[in-house]
Amino acid sequence: MTAHNTVQFPSPSKLALVGGGFAMVAIDQRESLRRMFPLVNGEEVDDETLRKFKSAAIAALSPIASAVLLDRHYGLADRRPAELAKGTALVLAADDLYHAPGQPVLATSLDPFVTEEYAQQVGADALKLLVIWQEDGSSAEREDLVGSFLGLAQRVGTPSLLEGIVRPARGGQWLDHHHRHEAILRAAAELSGYGCSIYKAEVPGYIQGDVSLVREQSERLTALLRVPWVVLSNGVAQAEFARAMVEAVEGGASGFLAGRAVWSDTVRDEQPAAALRERAVPRLRGLRASVSEATSRRIAVGDAFVRSEAGKEGSS
């Protein structure tokens, strides 16, 4: 299969804030969300508990988000959720996730039940695919998976969001932080090269307790990509995500598509719906404001540069 970097998709502007930038909330977690809940009589919570939490999260957070990412399994039924705020875009997860109990996702595939007809039935405004990138020479498999996803998005007629999560080679481990940071950049270069509307990346250069490298690494990632990119929050301490995200935007990111950094501390609350309103809503408002402010600063700097260059040409 050849690279898909010439495939044209609709503009992702419907997923963005009015002034530019993306403030998107991920509520597509599945078994990982189940494990966030406390055990009930020694057993994991049932599917209905997941659906109720997602419904409450959609109702509380979608009025603030520019888009909400949902899964077919527990976030959607057969139609656009009634709780999803009018004007907020719906991103449909098109991936199946594979992992052992209590372990991170090891592999993904295209969900066979996310068809063109299903995406149109639920009113999806965009599709998203998670890809695990490993230093194991399996680029051909990744290319085939991404190609199938891009073909689906093209048939549905929606923008495509491609998410890359890096892992060390099978049986190996990261040599150091630098090794992982370089992998994030290589994964972005490879995966975005197949073609997508938006690339979703782990926060470049992030080390727990230290965001000093994020802007520099984000600038490097921006230089590699020809499409807008956003950061995810998995792997980032909740208290550090806002600062890390702003550093990434200052380095060229266009915002975020994050879940855990917004709502993870509400899951174990005795009244999750109330906790979402009291803690997650203000947190999301703050993140949204940060994206708008950072985007405005970047646009202003860009406009000043253009005016400066025009002045130089006029005086020459």
Q: How much of the chain exceeds pLDDT 70, in percent?
A: 92
Average pLDDT over residues 85-100: 95
Residues 150 and 136: their CA atoms lie apart, in Å, by 23
The pTM is what? 0.92
Q: Say yes or no to pLDDT of 4 above 80.
A: no
Residues 107 and 129: their CA atoms lie apart, in Å, by 12
Mean pLDDT of the chain: 92
Tell me the pLDDT band of 311, cut-offs 50, 70 and 90.
low
For residue 172, the model assigns a pLDDT of 87
Q: Which residues have CB under 8 Å from 312's CB, separation 6+?
A: none
Assess if CATH 3.20.20.70 describes domain 12-315. yes
Q: Which amino acid is at 64?
A: I
CA-based nearest residue to 70, from 113, 111, 104, 25: 25
Instruction: Convert the pLDDT of each residue in 256-310 to its tens digit.
Output: 999 999 999 999 999 999 999 999 999 999 999 999 998 888 777 665 433 444 4
Q: Which residues are catalytic?
A: 200
For residue 299, the model assigns a pLDDT of 73
Average pLDDT over residues 165-177: 91
Structure-token match 């690279």, residue found: 3
Q: How much of the chain exceeds pLDDT 90, in percent?
A: 84
Domain ranges of the chain: 12-315
Cβ atoms of residues 194 and 146 within 8 Å: yes
Q: Say yes or no to pLDDT of 6 above 70.
A: no
3-state secondary structure of 290: helix
Tell me the pLDDT band of 149, cut-offs 50, 70 and 90.
very high
For residue 304, the model assigns a pLDDT of 46
What's the Cα-to-Cα distance from 306 to each of 249, 250, 297, 302, 311, rounded to whole Å? 20, 18, 14, 6, 9
Average pLDDT over residues 212-221: 98
